[in-house]
Structure 1
Amino acid sequence: MNVEQLPLGPLGTNCYIIEHEKKALIIDPGSEGDKLIRMIERREISPIAILLTHAHFDHIGALDEVRDHFDIPVYVHKEEKDWLGKPELNGSKFFQMATPLITAREADHEFEIGEMEIGEFTFEIRYTPGHSPGSVSFVFPNDSFVIAGDTLFQGGIGRTDLPGGDLDTLKQSIEEQLLTLDDDTTVYPGHGGATTVGEEKVMNPFL
């Protein structure tokens, strides 16, 4: 399993390409859809789905462009199924950099918490609200990594001052759903560099 991190847009939002034998999952295509598409086609990878850790504007800005180009389905948690088309919920209404306001069509599917299979990919969806009410993390236990979105960062945690955010809920999600993973599990966050569960247990000042 290969994990490629691609920071996109003015906030450097991490899009991830999870690739296995030339098939791929795209996670959080936040911006610069043409750049993302060119990279995927240059590597001759075939995406089969787009997964959203959550539906904030900086994670969905290129969603329709990428989904339409590859003709693939989109998955989001049910708590944020309405956020894709509403700038007042996805946050683009409140940021000058989000011009024009960012919207996307409805997702094709809603996540079910627990083990999931898409094509040849098997992983676990963990519900990790707090940064937003529909935030999820994708755990790949056989490869010892988790895509954590804007829940847990290297030395930090997600902000909770946007619609639906709650600090206590976020800390509980991290404690119960992420820090319970093995210490050597790599954490791929929504912004910034990767870290490990063990490192954040010891070094993260918010925990």
Structure 2
Amino acid sequence: MSPEYANKYKELSGKVLSKDTKFIKITKTFDPATNNYKVTIAEESENQAMIEVENAKNSVSATGNYDYQQNSWIKLETWLSSLGGGGEYLYKTSFTWLTQPLENIGEYIATGYGTNTSVISGSEYLQVTYNRQDVILQGYTWTWGPTYLNTDYYWTANIKSNTGYGFSFQICDDPTSRFSNVRGTMAFRVRPNISGAIILDA
């Protein structure tokens, strides 16, 4: 845990008011007309996502590599919590890649919030944790080295609007490395502009 994270969030506590869970499928297809990859995103039911994830894992086990993987699945869980009697609320979204993240695309995470609220300036953060392996030379052979844990922190959202905050980040941008067990958490605090309900919008 970074010192900045500990200083900003170690004393936060509150009561969970609502929770939302989604399963997202990301598909990458090559478009010969533009000579680029096209990425589509769709929500799936938990049951359908788990079936497809299991099939994808079995396919990778059979082939031994991820080079031709065209689909990836993410589990998103978003909470809205009341932070005691100070009138502040916390939006937190945790994400877990259920399969290997797709290569050659950027990653994005965003959380929407009620229009009757305002984000507390500087309260946002993103933490991304993953396992990483790098290619190493053993004798005359290139092979995958040991797996180690890596955590990245981001302290300023790339997207800031009156309906949500979002971060962009890149994981699979190095052809000499591979990544697994990618997960993370995005959060920010808000205050209501007027009295009334705050609606969760993940």
Please give the range of the TM-score, normalised by the shorter of the 2 chains. under 0.3
Q: TM-score, normalised by structure 2?
A: 0.22
Q: Greater relative contact order (Cα 8 A, min sep 6): structure 1 or 2?
A: 2
**Structure having the larger proportion of residues in helix:** 1
**Structure having the larger proportion of residues in strand:** 2
Q: TM-score, normalised by structure 1?
A: 0.22
